[in-house]
Structure 1
């Protein structure tokens, strides 16, 4: 969101107004422009071009600040910068805008909350416990709306891993496999280093 800077200065406002007018003309509406720039932002993100991804998400935010995917985009960039608690704030904003539940948003938010709990600097004990509880609630909500999704269970396994709940992480790996998932080999090696894989029943 352009760093939260005041965008009412005449030169900044004029530039924003021109961008909005040009994009509305090119895409047919502000909402269409926002969607297009979100898609471009994710393409840059997947290519590990975080600066360009942020630029596109900023432009999409300017066009439509009520688009939940703008905030999940910001969260993805912040996650990759290891700014997990900042990323979680963006995910909470995205969730408040009621994004489509079928895109794994609850799994992503749950995983980010767990990373914030595990690695967020300056969190008090109660704040850390609350973030762990928030992570678990998000995963349970995701399981309710998207049952038997390997993606959700793999994300849940990683959330448990980051907070030292290794037996629970293995239980989620098992659920992911039952749902047809294979899991990430590097993550499974990390988990095995903390706790041997339990025998399957």
Structure 2
């Protein structure tokens, strides 16, 4: 019952601001861009924001709780594939609490998914300022640096950044399989195929489901699996038994 009530309250708060934004075509477009596109708001738009905040103040214990609620709704919409609606909820969460690291983290993920990796890194950096030892966050920003490296001009500084963040991620959580797999990729790009296999196997012992078999094929083409777990022919596991 409490969740249903909160959902109704949140809907009322969000609708108040959404209706106002629909009256402002340019702002309606910006509402689905992280941090409302960073655009300077008109006095009328600022007044609408204040009305939204006031409504939330009446409905939630504090703005931190309200912000957390909207972030959770944002993840739900994102998991359903409703990206614009998700970003709008993340924006509302950010408006409620600009110090909520999860909003910047979400902006980073969404922006990276759109291929805007340099911009995504900026959002991740903002999130890291609040929680610099978060293993999952560290591995996400590292993965984005790897994208910049592999899809761009392959600058060594991007690879070094990725490696540095991944080392911190593993130091914070040695069971972070995503970080271990990403470290394998770093070693692959550095042509250190022995260590690439070492980190890959460390990752697959934690979580086999995250393996990218296209990457395995690339790695086996450079060096056969020293443990014989993956076949070179199709990069599939040779056995499921250790």
Same fold (TM over 0.5): yes
Q: Which residue of 1 aligns with 2:181?
A: 154
CA–CA distance in structure 1, aligned partners of residues 104 and 73 of structure 2? 14
Match of 1:39 in 2: 72
Matched, 1:184 2:213: no
How far apart, in 2, do the equivalents of 1:49 and 1:156 lie? 31
Alignment equivalent of 2:60, drawn from 27, 31, 54:
27
Cα contact 2:133–2:168 (8 A) shared by 1: no
Task: Write the distance in 1 (CA, Å) between the matches of 2:45 and 2:57.
Answer: 18
Aligned residues: 190
Q: Is the 8 A contact 2:74 2:89 kept in 1?
A: yes
Mapped pair 1:90 → 2:114: no
Contact 1:154-1:183 within 8 A present in 2 as well: no
Q: Does 1:65 align with 2:91?
A: no
- CA–CA distance in structure 1, aligned partners of residues 197 and 94 of structure 2: 39
TM-score normalized with structure 1 length: 0.84
Query: Is residue 133–residue 169 contact of structure 2 (8 Å, CA) maintained in 1?
Result: no
Shift of 1:199: 2.4
Cα 1:198–1:53 change in 2 (3 A) is same
TM-score of the superposition, structure 2-length normalised? 0.71
Matched ranges for 1:1-201 at <5 A: 1-7=35-41, 9-98=42-131, 101=134, 104-120=136-152, 128-157=155-184, 163=189, 167=193, 168-178=195-205, 180-185=206-211, 187-188=212-213, 190-196=214-220, 197-200=224-227
Structure 1 residue 61 displacement after superposition: 0.9
Identify the structure with bigger relative contact order (alpha carbons < 8 Å, sequence gap 6+). 1
Tell me the CA shift for residue 58 of structure 1: 0.8
Closer, same or farther: CA 150–184 of 1 in aligned 2, 3 Å: closer
- The 2-side partners of 1:82 and 1:35 are apart by 27
**1:165, CA displacement in angstroms?**
5.0
Match of 2:13 in 1: none
Name which one, 1 or 2, has greater alpha-carbon Rg. 2
CA spacing shift, 1:145–1:192, aligned 2, 3 Å:
closer
CA deviations on 1:14-44 (whole Å, 9 max, x unpaired) are 1100111112222221111111111111111
